[in-house]
Chains A and B, each alone.
Chain A
Amino acid sequence: MATSPANGLPRWEADPILIVEHLFMRFGGLIAVNDLSFKVGRGDITALIGPNGAGKTTVFNCITGFYKPSEGRLILAHGRAPTPEEIAEVTRIGERSLVGREAGVFLLERMPDYLVSGGAKVARTFQNIRLFTGMTVLENLMVAQHNALMAASGYSLKGLFGLPGWTRAQKAATAKAEYWLDKVGLTDRADDPAGDLPYGAQRRLEIARAMCSEPILLCLDEPAAGLNPRESLELNTLLRAIRAEHGTSILLIEHDMSVVMEISDHVVVLDYGTKISDGTPEAVKNDPRVIAAYLGVDEDAVEEVEAELKLDTNPTGAGA
Chain B
Amino acid sequence: MEIFVQQLINGLTLGSIYGLIAIGYTMVFGIIGMVNFAHGDVFMVSAFIALICFLLVTTVMGITSIFLALAIVLVVAMVFTSLLNWAIERVAYRPLRGSFRLAPMISAIGMSIFLANFVQVTQGPRNKPIPPMITDVIVLMDNGSYQVTLAWKQVIIMVITAALLGGFWYLVQKTSLGRAQRACEQDRKMAALLGINVDHTISLTFVIGAALAAVAGTLYLMYYGVANFADGFVPGVKAFTAAVLGGIGSLPGAVLGGLLIGLIETFWSAYFSIEYKDVAAFSILAITLIFMPQGLLGRPEVEKV
Q: Which 7 A-B pairs have the closest CB atoms?
A: A66-B305, A61-B305, A126-B305, A57-B305, A27-B302, A67-B305, A66-B303
Q: How many A-B residue pairs have CB under 8 A?
A: 7
Q: Find residues 257-305 in chain B having any chain A CB closer than 8 Å to their own CB.
A: 302-303, 305
Q: Using Cβ atoms and an 8 Å threshold, which residues of chain A touch B303?
A: 66
7 contacts between A and B (CB under 8 A): A27-B302, A57-B305, A61-B305, A66-B303, A66-B305, A67-B305, A126-B305
- Give the distance to chain A from B300, nearest Cβ to Cβ, in Å: 10
Q: Using Cβ atoms and an 8 Å threshold, which residues of chain A touch B302?
A: 27
- Give the distance to chain B from A286, nearest Cβ to Cβ, in Å: 34
- Give the distance to chain A from B220, nearest Cβ to Cβ, in Å: 41
Q: How many residues of A contact B (CB 8 A)?
A: 6
- Across the two chains, which residue of chain B brings its CB closest to A221? B305
Q: Using Cβ atoms and an 8 Å threshold, which residues of chain B touch A67?
A: 305
Q: A66 CA to B303 CA in the complex, in Å?
A: 9
Q: Using Cβ atoms and an 8 Å threshold, which residues of chain B touch A126?
A: 305
- Give the distance to chain B from A242, nearest Cβ to Cβ, in Å: 23
Q: Using Cβ atoms and an 8 Å threshold, which residues of chain A touch B305?
A: 57, 61, 66-67, 126
- Give the distance to chain A from B127, nearest Cβ to Cβ, in Å: 50
Q: Find residues 106-137 in chain A having any chain B CB closer than 8 Å to their own CB.
A: 126
- Give the distance to chain B from A123, nearest Cβ to Cβ, in Å: 14
Q: A247 CA to B302 CA in the complex, in Å?
A: 36
Q: Using Cβ atoms and an 8 Å threshold, which residues of chain B touch A66?
A: 303, 305
Q: Using Cβ atoms and an 8 Å threshold, which residues of chain B touch A57?
A: 305
- Across the two chains, which residue of chain A brings its CB closest to B305? A66
Q: Find residues 57-95 in chain A having any chain B CB closer than 8 Å to their own CB.
A: 57, 61, 66-67
Q: A126 CA to B305 CA in the complex, in Å?
A: 8
Q: A67 CA to B305 CA in the complex, in Å?
A: 9
Q: A57 CA to B305 CA in the complex, in Å?
A: 9
Q: A316 CA to B302 CA in the complex, in Å?
A: 35
Q: A67 CA to B302 CA in the complex, in Å?
A: 10
Q: A27 CA to B302 CA in the complex, in Å?
A: 10
Q: A27 CA to B303 CA in the complex, in Å?
A: 12
- Across the two chains, which residue of chain A brings its CB closest to B302? A27
Q: A146 CA to B33 CA in the complex, in Å?
A: 33
